[in-house]
Structure 1
Amino acid sequence: MEALREFASRLVSFESTAGREAELAAWVRERFEDFGFETYEWTADASVLADHPSFPDDPSEIDTEGRPSVAGVVELGDPDAGPTVVLNGHVDVVPADESAWSSSPFEATWDGDELTARGAADMKSGVAACVFAARRLADADDLDGRVVVECVVGEEEGGVGAASSALDSPFPFARDAAIVAEPTELTPVVASEGSLMKRLTLRGRSSHAATPWRGESVLPHFDRVREAFEELAAAREERVTHPLYEGFPTKWPVVCGTVEAGEWASTVPASLTAEWRIGVAPGETVAGVEREFDERLAEVVAENEWLREHPPDFERFSVQFEPSEIDPDEPVVRAVRRALAENGVEDTDPRGVTYGADARHYVEAGIPAVIVGPGSIEQAHFPDETIDFREVETAVDVFADAVRAFFEAGGQR
């Protein structure tokens, strides 16, 4: 599959970080046209996304300008007589600190079957597998339906392209199911965790470090909040259960990722800002988990005179990820599991994951979406991001066979 490797090598050569995806999208659209696919292109409307709970309420805080998503459509037989399956992947990548890499992050580096580059695992190799699975299916003369390859932008920022596609479809036809090719080591994922992003602001009173009794340090107050949140997180680990998550050391992670406090070493710190990422279990809502943490903070405030008189702010920031889940018996899941088994994958049991993905936008829109793709999430966002390309080649077979199985079953239970 030399053409597949060349395609993936070209994909990873684009430095398609947030806001810089347009050149890659144009190249992919040209390739779709070369392959004979019907092409579509759309740019998200920030005002529409602002009405979605995943995104900030202010459209000016959502970067959509000059960030097109593209799709290629393969019509088979009588396309209206069969189902439509989406093969989805995102083409945006996180930044790469070149000093931490042993090779150029935006240049394909091959070592036998291993490809190293930013996006090799997350998830341009998965995108390549989707494209080449669709190309293979284009030659089928015994199927009715459509295959849509969606290459979307802004997944790392909450799913800009996928949310737009789900909320305001760019296509004149319905979509019956989706396969999202995130790196799962070719394991079918039917449940993905959500996340809540919250920023805490505490205010104290500054004073010279030589007379700290004249000031009010924010640090003890932060410790109280942090300990309270850790206690709540531990309680949630015991109380909130899900059969697909019992094997994780931490099912619903609560992480304080940034803390900034004070202005000068010789001054009592009078301000502190801390940012949390809070896990949301499938079956919960972001709003519901947010209430738990808001209420726990309110209890801490009520117990402390200073905090009562100087109440902290605790606001959402960035994007929120609602959890998503589909029935493991959905036709698309059964089709994927059958295709995995036919291609030598021994463990086809559906799993849950502690990260979010674009699948949630399709599920919310009534389009069952299973996450399955080549590569490991452990390589995602890491220096020297690497994938065993033999798994990508297997993914092409799996995706093509899964679509065929779904078509043959008529997309029915």
Structure 2
Amino acid sequence: MSQVVKLLRDLIALPSVNNAFLPPGDPHAGEELVADYLKNRARKAGLEIETQATNSGRDNLIVRLKPLGQATHRIILAPHMDTVGGDLDKIFRPTKKGERLHGRGACDTKGSVAVMFHAMEHLAKRHRPTNTEIVFIGFVDEECNQTGSRAFSKLKLKANLALVGEPTRCRVVAAHKGDLWLRLSTRGKAAHGARPELGRNAVHTMAKCIDAIETEYAQNLGKRRHPVLGPPTINTGIVRGGSQPNIVPDICEADMDRRTLPGESFKTISREIGEVLKKRGLKARLANVKGYTCPAMETDPTLPMVQQFMRTVRQMKPLGVDYYCDAANIATTGVPAIVWGPGDIAQAHTADEWISIRQLERGMDVLTRFLLSLP
């Protein structure tokens, strides 16, 4: 069994479920066990260790590999340490089945943690760069509010490239969609259920609003196409209205998931939806549920360091993905960010999460060769 596989087994066995998915005080919650394990390995490898506080109350882990000479380049390796939950009696037992390693976080994203951290260890012990500083950042809270990458972006650390760990099957992703959670609210007038004509039913109004959004507005979105991301989308996920059957509801709310393209914002989207509803004589309020932005990300694939990494991967053109991740927050600082890592997003968050061992080892080979090629 290779060293990177052994490292991943150890990481899977350390619970790091995002605190949002478990009750307060649950021993399986938080990234601390993973961070402490990596700190111990970092000390043995002679790496510099820092932590960074975040709004989640948990700390990012920052590990630096200093070059032999003056640092003229910097590369950031940025996976996240938290996972989603599941059957807590089973998911932290790493199990090898053929050419697969099973367990929570195997692909999302402890596989990336293992590859990126072990590549740093390898260079620290045998091939320390001459002029390139390599910075590993183990983010907290990616699976909920991305407080880890949001806090890190405030450091405004300059770098030539950031590799953000996500399961891309070791393919380079240079663009991803943004994510905006919208809350649509309609108001009516309460009345007795026996005399509905005396009230105004907010649920009825909401039904008309949803119909307008899921038909006319969604069709308009389908006409917009990004070269690698495709069209933006909208989905109505939750509807809440009324308190009991014999009361005409005076309020109704619908929560919607709007996947955005580069350049779109809550302001522009709010205006678009407002115009569609106005055409049908409908009134509703629209709010940003999270209160912060999860923007789309697009990195210029012709940048020299991006091209160098793509040559190492042997990929001609970068891809785009429809999910949101920490890369966007890093990109807001001006650092070119790409998404890359072993594993397939199709296995992420599943009851039986797994990663291909062959792909894990390929990821280790690709990243090591890339880091060795740096000045």
**Fold match (TM-score > 0.5):** yes
- Deviations, residues 91-135 of structure 1 (Å, cap 9, x unaligned): 11122256xxxx712222221221222211111111111011112
Matching residue of 1:339: 312
| 1:292 counterpart (272, 279, 288) | 272
Aligned equivalents of 2:92 and 2:252: distance in 1? 37
Q: CA deviation at 1:299?
A: 4.6
| 2:96 counterpart (106, 110, 125) | 110
Aligned equivalents of 1:368 and 1:84: distance in 2? 11
Q: CA deviation at 1:216?
A: 2.9
Is structure 2 residue 129 aligned with structure 1 residue 149? no
> What SS does the corresponding residue of 1:185 show, helix, strand or coil?
coil
Of Structure 1 and Structure 2, the greater helix share is in 1
Q: CA 1:263–1:142 in 2, change beyond 3 Å: closer, same or farther? A: closer
- Deviations, residues 159-206 of structure 1 (Å, cap 9, x unaligned): 21122112125x7xx422111121111111111111111112223334
Q: CA 1:30–1:291 in 2, change beyond 3 Å: closer, same or farther? A: farther
Query: 2:303 is aligned with what amino acid?
Result: E
Q: CA deviation at 1:334?
A: 1.2
Aligned equivalents of 2:92 and 2:316: distance in 1? 33
**Residues 129, 372 of structure 2: 8 Å contact kept:** no
Q: Which runs of 5+ in 2 are unaligned?
A: 20-29
Query: 2:301 is aligned with what amino acid?
Result: P
- Deviations, residues 308-334 of structure 1 (Å, cap 9, x unaligned): xxxx43211125311111111112321
Aligned equivalents of 2:165 and 2:68: distance in 1? 25
Q: CA 1:188–1:261 in 2, change beyond 3 Å: closer, same or farther? A: same
> What SS does the corresponding residue of 1:335 show, helix, strand or coil?
helix
> What SS does the corresponding residue of 1:122 show, helix, strand or coil?
coil
Query: 1:280 is aligned with what amino acid?
Result: T
Aligned equivalents of 1:391 and 1:25: distance in 2? 24
Q: CA deviation at 1:29?
A: 1.8
Q: CA deviation at 1:283?
A: 3.5
Matching residue of 1:199: 183
- Deviations, residues 337-370 of structure 1 (Å, cap 9, x unaligned): 11112xxxxx542011111111112211111111
**Residues 203, 242 of structure 2: 8 Å contact kept:** no
Matching residue of 1:50: none
Q: CA deviation at 1:211?
A: 4.0
Query: 2:269 is aligned with what amino acid?
Result: V
After alignment, is 378-387 or 137-146 more displaced? Answer: 137-146
Is structure 2 residue 218 aligned with structure 1 residue 233? yes
Q: Give me the CA root mean square deviation.
A: 2.2
Q: CA 1:356–1:141 in 2, change beyond 3 Å: closer, same or farther? A: closer
After alignment, is 113-122 or 190-199 more displaced? Answer: 113-122
Q: CA deviation at 1:399?
A: 1.3
What does residue range 204-283 of structure 1 map to in structure 2 within 5 Å? 204-230=188-214, 231-238=216-223, 240-246=224-230, 251-283=231-263
TM-score, structure 2 length as denominator?
0.89
Aligned equivalents of 1:294 and 1:158: distance in 2? 27
Query: 2:181 is aligned with what amino acid?
Result: M
What does residue range 5-404 of structure 1 map to in structure 2 within 5 Å? 5-19=5-19, 20-44=30-54, 46=55, 64-65=56-57, 67-80=58-71, 82-96=72-86, 104-138=90-124, 139-140=126-127, 143-169=130-156, 174-230=158-214, 231-238=216-223, 240-246=224-230, 251-300=231-280, 303-304=281-282, 307=283, 312-318=284-290, 319-341=292-314, 347-404=315-372
